[in-house]
């Protein structure tokens, strides 16, 4: 890396917005984009005309700059659509930050959005990555189930112990969602309900999988040295890292499904960029990509929150609970929000932002300093990962 | 002298009991036994490939310069099936590929043509493959009787284990059993007509003529592999032909497989060869719009053809289907509720063509720098990042085991759950496959598996073939 300090403290967030996530039969993607951006502009005390350049993060709900320009009536400014699987929203934000840090622009907008519920399908479409269609039928839960099976076996957890471990992850996230009016699912679940739920792809049951939903979130960024012109409590960008794996796990027999190297690498690079030496102690809170409960558990190890093979101890002791030492998914996570793909990364930043400003209401943590967001697009054998850190 | 130098066969794993069919239709007439049913992802091409791989066990595919495919149920009306089979068997690009179709004699026609070509010196190794998945109309006698299966023979002069001694053929133009280009189901005329004007009139006469030409008496025949739509008819004909049904007739497998159409005579011949001793006279007889008779004699080499799954091992390896409706579903005989999953919306023909070597033959590459096998072929090595430094690598002959798996209930499947298996090969390399022909509760990490050629998608008239894995079949 050219400079280990990278983006740290060069960019600040001065406004954010987020729609309620859910099955918005009555809202189009344009409605969602408009509502998230409206809240962000009001939060920043700005108007649309103040935005100098914009980035859209979406997986399949928009294709070129018009996807933002049309609904927001952006007037002939540069608009770019960014796609990086589940890291699309985070990557749109990253691009907006680099634009500001370069000195090219003073005010940039990043909007993550996804409208999935018009499709009528269960789950996400399979990624048809080969035009000759010579690939196995598999879904995301099917592929992450391999991670769970092998993790249980490698670390000698019985099926019951393993299912309990990942089940507790979902119980915790569901509880946090009850405290969040913007979450889609707002109900407590018991560990028994989670463990006995219908199986989607063994050992992953219904409550081990995040749902499909619609939503949008937006962020407005400015140069750090101008942030206090806009508000007294800006939030600063500390690290923006993406790590993309060359799909080794598809082809190499030495990938054992129990860790995701791209997460580890993105985490290492983010910690170096943000100046974090002991993640477990210095990261105050995290929004991780809990597409599946097992993913969150393994990610905690990949990001060095827990020692390799030992995340079960931290889950059971409540270390990741809202009242624990390193709260994970304080807003309820993908578990409570569902996963409108392009929106999720920005929704994660939204929670970290509110927490750092003391505006997280019933979920408010005590004096958080650094918030980490993590997205994992793809499957264990082939993925693109983002790790972002924002703080005071 | 041209003869058979190797053989192979294939019977699908799945069997449907005839009492289950009877029960479904509340039919009064009890018919015993079971029929072999090709899986929802199998067809005549995939079964021919399986039989061909069995036949080529321990044999260099470069010994084959022609590939014949015989079937009355080719997946295509216009597009060669033999080219798909040849691609999957990794035969050379200048292999002469031919389809034989249209009659129950298609496979013996192909066998005759192969013997003639090799005898004349026009070809040195002809692989004859045959397979059928004929359909009888629901609630009918043919639905009860038909079964699915395949056979393969390698015809050559060198290493021939079974020599051609003589032959005789007659043709008869009539409609006893047939299917027009507009029909899904096989049609037939009155059973008495089929028996008396067809089978009983033609077969014994043709066999008699063949024996006479070869200067043999019925008693000289060790085993006669004679096509028959049912065992009763065969028994009646045996008397007329002068054969002892118990000692000399090869089992037509009606009770265990069913009538496999154009593949049956060759499947029966393969079964006979599995038990044959050197110096035995054999007959191979097909019937359909006429009659082909081949008179064969085994030599010392017949006992050297070992390690074939052929008929015996495939017969013994079976799984009963849960009931008649599963057969109806697999054969697409009834429209059913589609799953709430996105449909396939595209197959690219240029991509199929471009990917042919790795898609059909399961050939990957091996990095010359670090020795890592990888699939599909890469330009940049996944292990050492060396560029364009590879040699071809065959995955089909390597042992493999499951390093991780899952049963996916969300993936749309005719037969859920969809089993996903990360398969690691001896010598290196990993491919992620779907696993079929398995009981989900028996799937374990570390279990050995083998690859199997299957039809993976059908879209806008294109049958898309690739590979899956199965537990070691037999």
DSSP string, A223-261: EGGGGGGT-SS-EEEEEEEEEE---HHHH-TT--SS--H
| Boundary-marking domain end, from B330, B359, B375 | B330
Q: Which residues of A are catalytic?
A: 86, 339
Pairing between β-strand A370-379 and β-strand A285-287 as defined by DSSP bridges: parallel
In the predicted model, is pLDDT for residue B74 greater than 80?
A: yes
Nearest CA in chain A to B376: A251
Q: What is the helix (H) or strand (E) element at residue A334, kind and residue range?
A: helix A333-337
3-state DSSP assignment of residue A22: strand
Nearest Cα to Cα of residue B35 among B437, B236, B315, B344: B315
Is B337 inside a domain boundary? Answer: no
* A122 closest CB neighbour out of B341, B433, B456: B341
- What residues of A are in contact with residue B422 (Cβ under 8 Å)? 146, 257, 381
- Which of A121, A251, A252 is the best mutation test for B, with the most CBs of B within 10 A? A251
Residues of B in contact with A60 (CB under 8 A): none
Taking a C-beta distance cutoff of 8 angstroms, is the pair B12, B35 a contact? no
Q: What is the pLDDT of residue B342?
A: 79
Q: What are phi and psi of B419, to 5 degrees?
A: -90, 125
B312 and B281 within one domain = yes
The reply to whether B342 falls in a domain is no
Q: How far is A331 from chain B (nearest CA, A)?
A: 27
Asked if B346 is an interface residue toward chain A (Cβ–Cβ < 8 A), one would say yes
**Interchain proximity A142–B420, CB inside 8 Å:** yes
Residue A146 near chain B (CB below 8 Å): yes
Nearest CB to A136 within list B355, B359, B434:
B434
The predicted pLDDT at position A3 comes to 59
Is pLDDT above 90 for B375? yes
Query: H/E element holding A113?
Result: strand A108-114
Rg (CA), chain B: 23
What residue in A sits closest to B350 (Cα-Cα)? A132
Kindly state whether residue B432 falls inside one of the protein's structural domains: yes
Q: Are residues B275 and B361 in the same domain?
A: no
The residue-averaged pLDDT of B27-48 equals 94
Q: Could you count the other beta carbons within 10 Å of the beta carbon of residue B214?
A: 18
Task: Tell whether B321 and B373 lie within a shared domain.
Answer: no
* Residue B277 belongs to a domain: yes
Total domains in chain B come to 2
Distance CA A323, CA A306 (A): 17
Distances in Å between the Cα of A368 and the Cα atoms of A258, A308, A360 are 30, 25, 11
Contacts of A136 in chain B (CB under 8 A): 420, 432-434, 468
Contact A46, A15 (CB under 8 A): yes
Question: Is 3.50.50.60 the CATH number for A140-210+238-391?
Answer: no
Q: Does A251 touch chain B (CB under 8 A)?
A: yes
Beta bridge partners of B404: B422
* Residue where the block lists tokens 């090799």: B118
The closest alpha carbon to A372, from A310, A322, A305, A319, belongs to A305
B308 and B364 share one domain? no
Cα separations in angstroms, A315 against A164, A320, B420: 10, 6, 29
Q: Are strands B162-171 and B149-156 parallel, antiparallel or unpaired?
A: unpaired
| Contacts of residue A146, Cβ cutoff 8 Å, sequence gap at least 6 | A257, A380, B404, B405, B406, B420, B422
pLDDT class of B29 with cuts at 50, 70, 90: confident
- DSSP, collapsed to helix, strand or coil, labels residue A374 as strand
In chain A, whose CA is at the least distance from the CA of B453? A134
Peptide bond into B211 cis (omega under 30): no
Average pLDDT over residues B238-250: 95
8 Å CB contact between B342 and A119: yes
Q: If we measure between CA atoms, which residue out of B140, B137, B147 comes closest to residue B11? A: B147
- For chain A, say whether B387 makes contact (Cβ under 8 Å): no
Q: Is the previous residue joined to A203 through a cis bond, with omega within 30 degrees of 0?
A: yes
Q: Does residue B398 contact residue B427 with C-beta atoms inside 8 Å?
A: yes
Give per-10-residue mean pLDDT for chain A (392 aa).
78 98 95 98 98 97 96 98 97 98 98 93 71 87 96 96 98 98 97 97 96 97 97 98 94 95 98 97 98 98 98 98 98 98 98 98 98 97 97 97
* Confidence at residue A2, expressed as pLDDT on a 0 to 100 scale: 53
Please, are residues A81 and A134 in contact by the beta-carbon 8 Å criterion?
no
B343 in contact with A at a CB cutoff of 8 Å? no
Task: Determine whether the interchain pair B417/A201 forms a contact, defined as Cβ–Cβ distance below 8 Å.
Answer: yes
| In a shared domain, residues B283 and B381 | no
pLDDT for res A126: 66
Residues in chain A with CB shorter than 8 Å from the CB of B357 are: none
B 407-436 residues with CB below 8 A of A?
407-413, 417-418, 420, 422, 424-425, 428-430, 432-434
Question: Tens digits of per-residue pLDDT, B431-449?
Answer: 999 999 999 999 999 999 9
Torsion of CA B104, B105, B111, B115, to 10 degrees: 180
B363 DSSP β-pair partners: B394
Q: Which two tokens stand for residue A260?
A: 């995701």
**Spatial distance between the Cα atoms of B273 and B277, rounded to a whole number of angstroms:** 8
pLDDT of res. A239: 98
Residues 6+ apart with CB under 8 A from A306: A280, A300, A313, A314, A319
Preferred mutation among B422, B427, B441, B444 to probe A, highest tally of A CBs within 10 A: B422
Q: What average pLDDT does this structure show over B144-162?
A: 97
Is 0.90 topped by the overall pTM? yes
Any domain includes B443: yes
Predicted local confidence at residue A131, as pLDDT:
76
Pairing of the two strands B319-320 and B14-17 = parallel
Note whether B186 and B135 are within 8 A (CB). yes
First CA to last CA distance, chain A: 24
Residue A173 to residue A160: CA distance in whole angstroms? 20
Which of B358, B406, B459 shows the shortest C-beta gap to A149? Answer: B406
Q: Which two tokens stand for residue B134?
A: 């004929």
What CATH number corresponds to the domain at position B277?
Answer: 3.40.47.10
Residue A363: CB atoms within 10 Å: 19
pLDDT of residue B340: 78
SS (H, E, C) chain B: CCEEEEEEEECCCEEEEHHHHHHHHCCCCCCCCEEEECCCCCCHHHHHHHHHHHHCCCCCHHHCCEEEEEECCCCCCCCCCHHHHHHHCCCCCCCEEEEEECCCCHHHHHHHHHHHHHHCCCCCEEEEEEEECCCCCCCCHHHHHECCEEEEEEEECCCCCEEEEEEEEEECCCCCEECCCCCCCCEECCHHHHHHHHHHHHHHHHHHHHHHHCCCCHHHEEEEEECCCCHHHHHHHHHHHCCCHHHHECCCCCCCCCECHHHHHHHHHHHHHHHCCCCCEEEEEEECCEEEEEEEEECHHHHHCCCCCCCHHHHHCCEECCCHHHHHHHCCCCCCCCCCCCCCCCCCHHHHHHCHHHHHHCEEEEECCCCCEECCCCCECCCCCCECCEEEEECCCCCEEEEEEEEECCCCCCCCCEEEEEEEECCCCEEEEEECCCCHHHCCCCCEEEEEEEEEEEECCEEEEEEEEEECCC
Query: Residues B72, B19: one domain?
Result: yes
Domain that holds residue B91: 3-330
The shortest C-alpha distance from A27 to chain B (Å) reads 22
Indicate if B286 and B184 belong to the same structural domain.
Answer: yes
CA distance linking residue B321 with residue A280, whole number of Å? 54
Q: What is the model's pLDDT at position B274?
A: 97
pLDDT on residue A128: 56
Looking at 3.40.47.10, 3.40.50.1100, 3.40.50.300, 3.40.250.10, the CATH number of the domain A11-118+214-234 comes to 3.40.47.10
Query: Judged by CB atoms within 8 Å, which residues 438-457 of B form the interface with A?
Result: 445, 456-457
Asked whether residue B83 is assigned to any structural domain, the reply reads: yes
Name the nearest CA neighbour of A300 among A390, A203, A166: A166
Beta strands B96-101; B66-71: pairing state: parallel
Give residue-wise pLDDT tens across range B292-343. 999 999 999 999 998 999 999 999 999 999 999 999 999 999 998 887 777 7
Residue extent(s) of CATH 3.40.47.10 domains in chain A: 11-118+214-234, 140-210+238-391
Residue B223 shares a structural domain with residue B94: yes
B312: cis peptide before it, omega within 30°? Answer: no
Q: Where are the beta strands (DSSP E) in A142-281?
A: 199-201, 204-205, 215-223, 235-244
Whether residues B233 and B154 share a domain: the answer is: yes
Nearest CA in chain A to B342: A125
Q: How many whole angstroms separate alpha carbon B432 and alpha carbon A143?
A: 10
Shortest Cα distance, chain B CAs vs residue A150, angstroms = 6
B66 and B24 within one domain: yes
- Cβ–Cβ < 8 Å for A87, A375: yes
Q: In this complex, is the C-beta atom of A311 within 8 Å of any C-beta atom belonging to chain B?
A: no
Chain B residues closer than 8 Å to A146 by CB: 404-406, 420, 422
Q: Between chains, do A252 and B408 touch, taking CB under 8 Å as contact?
A: no
Alpha-carbon distance A176 to A361, whole Å?
12
Longest C-alpha distance within chain A, in Å?
Answer: 59
Summary mean pLDDT of chain B: 96
Task: Find the distance separating the first CA and the last CA of chain B, reported in whole Å.
Answer: 34
State both tokens at B422. 């990360």
pLDDT tens-digit series, residues B89-147? 999 999 999 999 999 999 999 999 999 999 999 999 999 999 999 999 999 999 999 99
Across the range B52-69, mean pLDDT stands at 97
Between the alpha carbon of residue B245 and those of residues A263, B222, B236, the distances in Å are: 71, 11, 9
DSSP β-ladder status, B363-367 and B390-394: antiparallel
| Number of C-beta neighbours around residue A197 at 10 A | 17
Domain-located, residue B343: no
**Alpha carbon of B381: minimum distance to chain A alpha carbons (Å):** 10
B403 touches A: beta carbon within 8 Å: yes
pLDDT score for B387 = 97
Indicate whether B50 and B170 sit together in one domain: yes
Residues of B in contact with A142 (CB under 8 A): 406-408, 410-411, 418, 420
pLDDT at A89: 98
Note whether A245 contacts B: Cβ–Cβ < 8 A: no
Mean pLDDT calculated for residue range B170-195: 94
> How many angstroms separate the CA atoms of A242 and A7, rounded?
13
Asked whether residue B148 falls in the same domain as residue B115, the answer is: yes
Comparing CA positions, the residue from B459, B436, B421, B453 lying closest to residue B342 is B459
> Is residue B336 assigned to a domain?
no
């Amino acid at each position: 890396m050219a400079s280990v300090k990278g983006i740290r403290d060069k960019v600040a967030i001065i406004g954010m917005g987020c729609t309620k996530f859910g099955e918005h039969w009555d809202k189009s993607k344009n409605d969602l984009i408009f509502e998230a951006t409206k809240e962000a502009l009001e939060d920043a005390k700005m108007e649309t005309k103040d935005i100098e350049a914009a980035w859209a993060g979406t997986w399949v709900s928009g294709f070129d700059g018009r996807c933002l320009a049309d609904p927001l009536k952006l007037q002939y400014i540069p608009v770019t659509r960014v796609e990086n699987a589940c890291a699309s929203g985070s990557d749109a934000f990253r691009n907006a930050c680099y634009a500001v840090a370069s000195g090219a622009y003073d005010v940039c907008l990043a909007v993550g959005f996804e409208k999935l519920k018009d499709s009528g399908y269960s789950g996400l479409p399979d990624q048809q990555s080969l035009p000759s269609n010579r690939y196995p039928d598999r879904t995301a839960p099917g592929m992450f189930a391999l991670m769970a099976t092998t993790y249980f076996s490698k670390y000698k957890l019985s099926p019951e112990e393993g299912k309990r471990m990942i089940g507790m992850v979902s119980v915790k996230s569901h509880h946090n969602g009850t405290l969040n009016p913007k979450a889609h699912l707002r109900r407590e679940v018991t560990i028994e309900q989670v463990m006995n739920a219908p199986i989607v792809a063994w050992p992953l049951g219904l409550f081990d999988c995040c749902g499909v939903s619609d939503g949008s979130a937006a962020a407005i960024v400015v140069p750090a040295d101008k942030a206090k012109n806009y508000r007294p409590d800006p939030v600063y960008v500390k690290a923006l890292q993406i790590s993309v794996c060359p799909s080794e796990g598809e082809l190499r027999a030495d990938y054992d499904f129990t860790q995701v190297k791209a997460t580890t690498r993105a985490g290492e690079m983010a910690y170096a960029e943000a100046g974090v030496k002991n993640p477990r102690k210095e990261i105050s809170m995290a929004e991780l990509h809990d597409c599946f409960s097992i993913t969150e558990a393994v990610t905690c190890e990949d990001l060095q929150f827990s020692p390799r093979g030992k995340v079960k101890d931290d889950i059971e002791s409540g270390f990741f609970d809202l009242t624990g030492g390193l709260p994970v998914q304080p807003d309820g996570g993908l578990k409570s929000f569902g996963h409108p793909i392009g929106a999720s990364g920005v929704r994660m930043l939204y929670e970290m932002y509110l927490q750092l400003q003391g505006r997280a209401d019933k979920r408010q943590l005590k004096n958080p300093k650094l918030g980490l967001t993590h997205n994992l697009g793809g499957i264990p054998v082939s993925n693109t990962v983002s790790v972002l850190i924002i703080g005071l | 002298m041209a003869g058979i130098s190797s053989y192979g066969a294939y019977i699908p794993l799945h069997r449907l009991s005839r009492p289950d069919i009877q029960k479904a239709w509340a039919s009064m007439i009890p018919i015993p036994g079971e029929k072999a049913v090709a899986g929802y992802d199998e067809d005549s091409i995939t079964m021919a490939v399986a039989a061909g791989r069995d036949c080529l066990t321990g044999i260099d595919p470069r010994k084959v310069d022609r590939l014949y495919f015989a079937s009355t149920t080719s997946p295509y009306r216009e597009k060669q099936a033999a080219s798909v089979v040849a691609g999957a068997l990794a035969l050379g690009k200048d292999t002469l590929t031919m389809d034989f179709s249209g009659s129950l004699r298609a496979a013996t026609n192909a066998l005759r043509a192969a013997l003639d070509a090799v005898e004349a010196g026009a070809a040195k190794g002809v692989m004859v493959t045959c397979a059928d998945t004929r359909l009888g109309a629901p609630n009918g006698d043919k639905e009860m009787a038909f079964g699915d299966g395949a056979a393969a023979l390698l015809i050559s002069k060198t290493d021939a284990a079974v020599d051609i001694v003589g032959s005789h053929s007659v043709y008869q133009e009539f409609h006893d059993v047939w299917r027009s280009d507009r029909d899904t189901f096989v049609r037939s005329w009155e059973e008495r007509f089929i028996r008396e004007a067809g089978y009983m009139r033609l077969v014994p006469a043709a066999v008699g003529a063949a024996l006479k030409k070869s200067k043999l008496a019925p008693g000289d025949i060790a085993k006669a592999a004679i096509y028959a739509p049912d065992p009763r008819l065969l028994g009646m004909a045996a008397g007329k032909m002068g054969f002892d049904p118990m000692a000399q007739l090869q089992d037509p497998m009606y009770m265990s497989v069913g009538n496999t159409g154009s593949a049956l005579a060759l499947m029966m011949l393969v079964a006979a060869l599995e038990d044959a001793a050197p110096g035995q006279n054999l007959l191979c007889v097909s019937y359909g719009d006429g009659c082909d008779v081949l008179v064969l004699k085994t030599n010392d080499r017949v006992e050297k053809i070992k390690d074939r799954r052929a008929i015996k091992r495939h017969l013994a390896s079976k799984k009963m289907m849960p009931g008649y409706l599963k057969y109806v579903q697999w054969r697409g005989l009834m429209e059913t509720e589609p799953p709430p999953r996105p449909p396939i919306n595209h197959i690219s023909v240029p991509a199929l063509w471009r990917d042919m070597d790795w898609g059909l033959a399961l050939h990957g590459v091996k990095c010359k720098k670090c020795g890592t096998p990888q699939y599909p072929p890469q330009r940049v090595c996944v292990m050492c990042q060396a560029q364009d430094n590879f040699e071809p690598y065959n995955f089909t002959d390597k042992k493999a085991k499951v390093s991780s798996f899952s049963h996916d209930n969300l993936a749309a499947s005719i037969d859920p759950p969809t089993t996903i298996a990360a398969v690691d090969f001896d010598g290196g390399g990993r491919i992620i496959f779907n696993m079929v022909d398995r009981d989900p509760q028996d799937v374990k990490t570390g279990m050995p598996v083998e690859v199997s050629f299957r039809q993976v998608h059908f879209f806008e008239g294109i049958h898309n073939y690739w590979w899956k894995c199965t537990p070691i079949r037999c």
